Structure 1
Amino acid sequence: MAAYPLSARSSHGNLPAPTTPAPRDGEMSLVNLAARQRMLSQRMVLQTVLATRGSDLHLKAARSSLALFSESHARLVDTPRHLDVAMGERIRTTYQGSAGVGPTIDAFMQQVERTLELAERQSPRVEEALARLVEITDGALDALNTATTAFDQLGKAKSETLMKELAGIVASIQTVAREAKVVSFNAQVMAARAGQHGREFAVVANVLSGITNEIDGLSLQAVSLAGRNR
């Protein structure tokens, strides 16, 4: 690995400016949060490299990125507590199973922190720490990719479950609509038989018929929507 010579700490110079901090978690979906971790990991490595060259701005930016990365990692690892047993176990295994990615990601965060501490002290050992960080970065990216894939599969599974529930609701609505049509038809027949005395009854029957037609239309839209989201 090429050496990155230490220089006097500076907030200026020709070093590229730190990138704008990533947004906080907020309402970000789990799969997007997991994917953002990959971006943050690469950003941290670049910021850390520049911090070892004497940039206080990048040292501060790297610490900010590390804090956000650690916060997001904790949220992702805690996800199983908020899922059903089967889905929760899949995520737990991804991070903490025998081949889990948790230890790899933890080691990466610890190495970033150690390198930044040495850079801040301008320690001669910072080059060794930086070399180690670069060495483990590919493994960390692989681990983060594995985690992202797990959350992507989780999202798809939840979507499929939701679509099945929606299909069941639509089927129930269609059943009610069919029964209402039968009632409407019978009411129209009875109104016709009643002649002049059945006019008001006929109006109600026609309104009911119109409502059932609207229900049919909405049901078809729901079925179409469910199909597009499969």
Structure 2
Amino acid sequence: MAPRAKSTTEAAEPIRRSSRISAQPKSEPAKEVKKAAPRTKKRSADEGDGEDTTPAVKKSKAEEAAAEAPDTEESNEKAAQLASIDVGDTLPSFTLQNEKGEDVDVATLSAEKGVIFFLVPKADTPGCTTQACGFRDTYPDFTAQNFAVYCLSADSPNAQSKWQTKKELPYPLLSDPQRVLITALGAGEGGKTKRSHFIFEKGGKLVEKKIPVKPADSPKLALEYVKSIAAAA
């Protein structure tokens, strides 16, 4: 028996189904989304495996200022090293820098001759220049009486050196930035230096002090006292 012939509809069905399937858009495979790897700090060659890589915490301005500020206790301890020096007391051993940045033990200055310290509030200011130039102009008179002259202030050695050169000051200048010796002499108050002068005889005993004193009077009064010592001797 011959097989039944497919009807027109049945024969066309596969074609239509095939057309429908081919007409559908091909679905593309989903693209794989790559996650960005976390950024890591590049290690330097000398970093160890066990080194703490925690980022540094930025300090506040107040914390930075506190870190840079001088140690108050240390400064106070340094200032307390010298007791008060009054008439009759001996010049203690204490090291300061001169205008050249050289260390000077003030106790050694009076070993061979008398010493005069004149103190100024600030180098190269009008009143201080008047006082300094007064000692400059009478400097030969002091040396003739076997007395050395020193300017003492809280200025830096560099500032003192410039002032010395500018005004042709023939004597050394001593820098006491923490006002340790200045305070011991009684001329440091409220972070300032009182204009004054102090006379130590040979051997280091304080015999005369003028505090405060006027700029023009300081060299004159100091010289008068030195001459009176020579006359008495």
TM-score (ref. length: structure 2)? 0.21
Structure with more helix by fraction: 1
> RCO higher in 1 or 2 (8 Å CA, sep ≥ 6)?
2
Structure with more strand by fraction: 2
Q: Greater CA radius of gyration, 1 or 2? A: 2
